[in-house]
Structure 1
Amino acid sequence: MDYSTDVNVNKNAESDAGASDLTVLHESAKLIGQSATPEIAISGTLRLMSQMLGLNRGRVLLPSAINDNLQIRYSYGLRDEERRLGIYKIGEGITGSVMKSGQPAVIQNIDEEQNYLFRAVDRETLPDDVVAFIAVPIMDGNSTIGVLAAHRLRMRPRAIDSDLMILRILSTFIAQIISINNLIKERTSYLQEENRELKDALQNKSGENNHGILGESQAVRDALRQISRVADTVVTVLLTGESGTGKERFSQVLHLNSSRRDQPFVAINCAAIPEQLLESELFGHERGAFTGASASKKGKIELASGGTLFLDEIGDLNMELQSKLLRILENQVIQRVGGVKDIPVDVRIITATHKNLQEAVNKGTFRLDLFYRLNVFPIHLPPLRERAGDVRILASHFLLSANTEYSRYTVFDKGVMERLETYNWPGNIRQLENVIKRSVLISLEGIITVTDIEMILRQESAINEHLEAGQSSDAFSLPAFSAGQSEGLSPVQSRAHTSLPPVPQPQSTAYSSTQNRPYSWVRKDEAEAIEEALKHTGGNKTRAAAILGMTPRQFRYRIEKLGLPMNLSRE
């Protein structure tokens, strides 16, 4: 008897089956990468199973959002009514048993299996031949998240073990699709909730004419209530509070709620301008008043006439300018530098300081008469640590702003808000904004984790400790990792910060004569941080420089000055 024909037939069948399997896997992988929705990807995979492999009426069952019952979420070859009927409790029938056990099931003949329920598809709908049923678990790690199942004719050249194997492979594809979709839904839902909270907060604030002041704490409400009482008067207001509490923003609110709202609002920081230039900046100058004064120029006070002038850090004014400011408050006239003519002005002055002006008066550095004129209506702006509940609102706002600015789609992981709320925030709102921006830039996979926040806060604490200790400005050290320099870092670079020793930040001095000589300030104790950064980047100088917030040129300069081995930094 000649069996060669049968052998050749079997070999051809196996060859055809292998080619079909590869085609299905290849096309399914393409669907995962190209499909916009899981419906397209999974339904397309089930269609390939039916058309290429003869695995008919394929279905993916997932737990219901309402209860734990399995229901048919995706299918190919099933009517809507059959999909609706395909509901199983965990452990019920073949499908429920696979979900419960996490083990595949192969039913050679559904007519002989008592546990097969015929719930979704009636027996009359199926072919008269012997029908088999295969169900495999869809696994996410060690957890069963669903079931992939299909019918097939029992008597076929293709081995049923081959079908079982291909279904198990496809189930891993489907698990990936489901996991990605769940992650996207979770992020989207979380961000939508954040958007709703922020929108509600903004609507509430705008209804109270707060012009963008975010916060619902009693401390903020009290400050805004005081501002509303004096906004439409001519009384001089002194805003007090720590740096970063939003004094300029509150002064704008006061201006916008006054009758001067349509006139200029001019702000100037008295501490940010060198003393010899500040008088000209405030009062303007006449032509020829000093070298380079080729034309007359109006100062900030004249430019603000009819509106509001905001003088921040008023405690830094010298005694001469204090007396001139007092004259404005009393007579509403000024004289430009180099001029002799009084110029009338109509300006409301709002001042702010983080210093204790009463102590300055006692020390003789601030005029008592000016203090009384400025302190007619003082309003204290609370530090962020005293604004219970506002950190969450502000952090959400800064996250949305940073996502827009950097074209990112980043969300807070669980626990981040709680950690932000427990931090002391010595730099107040400005510091919170910088931390959120930096965390957006270094976050991995669009999620800001508690680890990311902890790393940034450790750096912030190290900077504050050195500033409080009064570190001299001539001792330059490695700059803290800045948000603007973190974009584009690899995961290794970003995570390297968690183990790098904290690096202090020098005190900044406005218009310092050494401000343009960053390469000459090198400290011996920088060597450890440089070596640690190189270790984390595998010797890549460019990435190590980015970790430490320096340019490659600054980084190489330090390697040379510190005498570090060049092979440490081989790229």
Structure 2
Amino acid sequence: MEKKLEVGILSVVNQTARILSKSLSFEDGAEEFLKILYSFWDVPHSYVALYNREAKILRIVKSFGLSKEEVEKGVFKKGEGIIGKVYKSGIPVVLSDIHISYYLNKTGLRDRLSGRETFVAVPIKVGEEIVGVLAFFKDFKKESVEEGVKLALILATMLGMLYKLSQRMEQEKREWEEEKRMLTEALSENFRIEGIIGVSPAIRQLGELIRKVAHTDITVLITGESGTGKSLIAKAIHYASPRKDKPLITVNCSAIPESLLEAELFGYEKGAFTGAYSSRRGKFELANGGSIFLDEIGDLPLSLQPKLLRVIQDKEIEKLGGEKTIKVDVRIISATNKDLKEMVEKGEFREDLFYRISVFPIHVPPLRERKEDIPLLVEHFLKVFNQRYKKNVRLSQRVLEVLMDYPWYGNVRELENFMERLVILKDGLISEKDLPTYLFLELGKDKPKNLPGFIEATEKEEIIRALEKTGYVKSRAAKLLGLTLRQLDYRIRKYNIEVKRF
């Protein structure tokens, strides 16, 4: 009999070991594990509860022999009931009588047991950290309860290994998905190069600079006003380089809070700060072998600038909370619309870092300095947005002349946004009278205007802007304009303004 029991226990251990080799998620592995307990060790009722750090509760994630309603009731606070106490103390609990007061019976399972079962609960550990509890009901009959608890501890240790493996696999899967998403996004059909479309001497010179620098590994600093297409230049450099098959990772230094930027760039180890429940690779590590584009580098905090300098000089990083350095092979491309030389003089940017990131400076000229490129850009945007919105918008020659005369302070981005809006609002041939008033304000400022026509055109434009801003909710647009709903409805009819329905 003793030999038969020993064979049964070995079978449970062997079958559990097989789960570890299957690369299953923790929940799938736990489900198979509980079935093994039933098949090879005669455990008809069992469950695994994991601790949720955010909710601060233990919840049953997988069970065998429990109904859906019983599982949903299986929620325990830290230190509450047997499950909560085992989690808090890390000490196994064995109850031969489950009718005692401190067995809370939260699941309600006790009500349908025979009464001969012993309840066993043991902690599931990953190293020294307790992550959950394994609990089961078993009629030990002639078997030794002490030996049963020893087996339960072994099995809980194996569950801890499964938990650690699945966490690592999940983390690697997330990182792989992020790399895939970034690479796919960069290489997708929607990757547009309109920012460097043109025939002007400035654009031809820009193209020549890109071709020359792309095949090197030197750092590049792209300067220019907002909307000139600096990010597109960075992509053009990367995809013309030998690193094109590796990731291009973009980081906007002004969009990430200073407190998070270091972790975003360099990654962190588990426990480095509150909420760091697992280690994570930073953008430099993700970009290894490829390029990293540091947009708005003028907003990089002074506290992080020495660390970036170290990456450039030594080609190595150190994670937050980490003690070892990690070698990285990354090409650094930066961009800014600020005057970094002036920032250096004011002590707002490190001089040594400035010279290291600007080995090869590229300046992108504003659109108003290359007006001969506007017709090509307009033609490109018309094609893109006509296809997207299934329209057939065309421009008269006079409209094109107005667009060429306008200074476009927002550069290519402003022109793109304008063309998209024009295609959405209009159809067919666009004439001068269809254009918004503000386009003419920069032209002939000293010329007298037809006052009634000017007021009506301005009023129509402001109503359209308010409707767009409020998602075409007329009551909100009226409030924004300082009109009553009735007054707004009158003007919408008067100017024949289309109110979109979403």
Bin of the TM-score, shorter chain as denominator length: 0.5 to 0.7
After superposition, what is the alpha-carbon deviation per residue over 1:288-314, rounded to whole angstroms, capped at 9, x for unaligned? 222222211111111111011111100
Q: Does 1:403 align with 2:397?
A: no
Residue 499 of structure 1: aligned partner: 459
Q: Does 1:362 align with 2:345?
A: yes
Q: Does 1:451 align with 2:411?
A: no
Equivalent position to 1:304, from 271, 277, 287: 287
Is the contact made by 2:402 and 2:439 (CA closer than 8 Å) also made in structure 1? no
Q: What pairs up with 1:422-571 in 2 under 5 angstroms? A: 422-444=405-427, 446-455=428-437, 457=439, 498-500=458-460, 502=462, 526-527=481-482, 533-538=488-493
Q: Does 1:394 align with 2:377?
A: yes
C-alpha distance in 1, partners of 2:416/2:298?
26
Is the contact made by 2:197 and 2:373 (CA closer than 8 Å) also made in structure 1? yes
Please state how far the C-alpha of 1:270 moved relative to its aligned partner. 1.0
Equivalent position to 1:277, from 246, 255, 260: 260
C-alpha distance in 1, partners of 2:382/2:440?
20
3-state SS of 1:426 partner: coil
After superposition, what is the alpha-carbon deviation per residue over 1:221-266, rounded to whole angstroms, capped at 9, x for unaligned? 1112122222111211100000001001111111122111121111
Deviates more, 1:253-262 or 1:349-358: 253-262
C-alpha distance in 2, partners of 1:377/1:407?
43
C-alpha distance in 2, partners of 1:455/1:379?
35
Residue 260 of structure 1: aligned partner: 243
3-state SS of 2:277 partner: coil
Q: TM-score, normalised by structure 2?
A: 0.53
Q: Specify the code of the residue in structure 1 equivalent to 2:429.
A: I
Q: Does 1:343 align with 2:326?
A: yes
Deviates more, 1:299-308 or 1:404-413: 404-413
C-alpha distance in 2, partners of 1:245/1:212?
7
After superposition, what is the alpha-carbon deviation per residue over 1:308-358, rounded to whole angstroms, capped at 9, x for unaligned? 111110000101111111110000111112212111100000000000001
After superposition, what is the alpha-carbon deviation per residue over 1:256-292, rounded to whole angstroms, capped at 9, x for unaligned? 2211112111112111122222211111111122222
3-state SS of 2:235 partner: helix
Q: Percent identity?
A: 45
Q: Does 1:232 align with 2:192?
A: no
C-alpha distance in 1, partners of 2:267/2:402?
48
3-state SS of 1:389 partner: helix
C-alpha distance in 1, partners of 2:320/2:465?
38
Runs of at least 5 residues in structure 2 that lack an aligned partner in the other structure = 1-192, 443-454, 467-472
Residue 274 of structure 2: aligned partner: 291
Task: Answer 1 or 2: higher relative contact order, Cα 8 Å, separation at least 6.
Answer: 2
Is the contact made by 1:214 and 1:393 (CA closer than 8 Å) also made in structure 2? yes
Please state how far the C-alpha of 1:371 moved relative to its aligned partner. 0.7
Is the contact made by 1:285 and 1:336 (CA closer than 8 Å) also made in structure 2? yes
Q: Specify the code of the residue in structure 1 equivalent to 2:306.
A: S
Please state how far the C-alpha of 1:419 moved relative to its aligned partner. 1.1
Residue 487 of structure 1: aligned partner: none
Equivalent position to 2:206, from 209, 223, 237: 223
C-alpha distance in 2, partners of 1:362/1:450?
48
After superposition, what is the alpha-carbon deviation per residue over 1:153-200, rounded to whole angstroms, capped at 9, x for unaligned? xxxxxxxxxxxxxxxxxxxxxxxxxxxxxxxxxxxxxxxxxxxxxxxx
3-state SS of 1:239 partner: strand
Q: What pairs up with 1:6-155 in 2 under 5 angstroms? A: none
Please state how far the C-alpha of 1:546 moved relative to its aligned partner. 5.1
3-state SS of 2:218 partner: coil
Residue 151 of structure 1: aligned partner: none
Is the contact made by 1:439 and 1:456 (CA closer than 8 Å) also made in structure 2? no
Q: Does 1:375 align with 2:335?
A: no
Q: Specify the code of the residue in structure 2 equivalent to 1:448.
A: I
Q: What pairs up with 1:327-342 in 2 under 5 angstroms? A: 327-342=310-325
C-alpha distance in 1, partners of 2:223/2:486?
44
* Pairs aligned (count): 291
After superposition, what is the alpha-carbon deviation per residue over 1:368-427, rounded to whole angstroms, capped at 9, x for unaligned? 110111121111001011113110001110111101111212211331211111110000
3-state SS of 1:301 partner: helix
Please state how far the C-alpha of 1:496 moved relative to its aligned partner. 7.6
Residue 66 of structure 1: aligned partner: none
C-alpha distance in 2, partners of 1:382/1:531?
47
Residue 42 of structure 1: aligned partner: none
C-alpha distance in 2, partners of 1:396/1:317?
37
Quickly say closer, same or farther: Cα 1:531–1:215, change in 2 above 3 A: farther
Runs of at least 5 residues in structure 1 that lack an aligned partner in the other structure = 1-209, 462-494, 507-517, 553-571
Quickly say closer, same or farther: Cα 1:529–1:417, change in 2 above 3 A: farther
Q: Specify the code of the residue in structure 2 equivalent to 1:388.
A: K
Is the contact made by 1:435 and 1:456 (CA closer than 8 Å) also made in structure 2? no
3-state SS of 2:251 partner: strand
After superposition, what is the alpha-carbon deviation per residue over 1:420-461, rounded to whole angstroms, capped at 9, x for unaligned? 1111000000110000000001114x22232333347479x8
Quickly say closer, same or farther: Cα 1:272–1:523, change in 2 above 3 A: farther
RMSD, aligned CA: 3.5
C-alpha distance in 1, partners of 2:481/2:459?
15
Quickly say closer, same or farther: Cα 1:358–1:286, change in 2 above 3 A: same
Is the contact made by 2:230 and 2:335 (CA closer than 8 Å) also made in structure 1? yes
Please state how far the C-alpha of 1:528 moved relative to its aligned partner. 5.1
Deviates more, 1:521-530 or 1:335-344: 521-530
Which has the higher Rg, Structure 1 or Structure 2?
1
Quickly say closer, same or farther: Cα 1:538–1:256, change in 2 above 3 A: closer
Please state how far the C-alpha of 1:212 moved relative to its aligned partner. 8.0
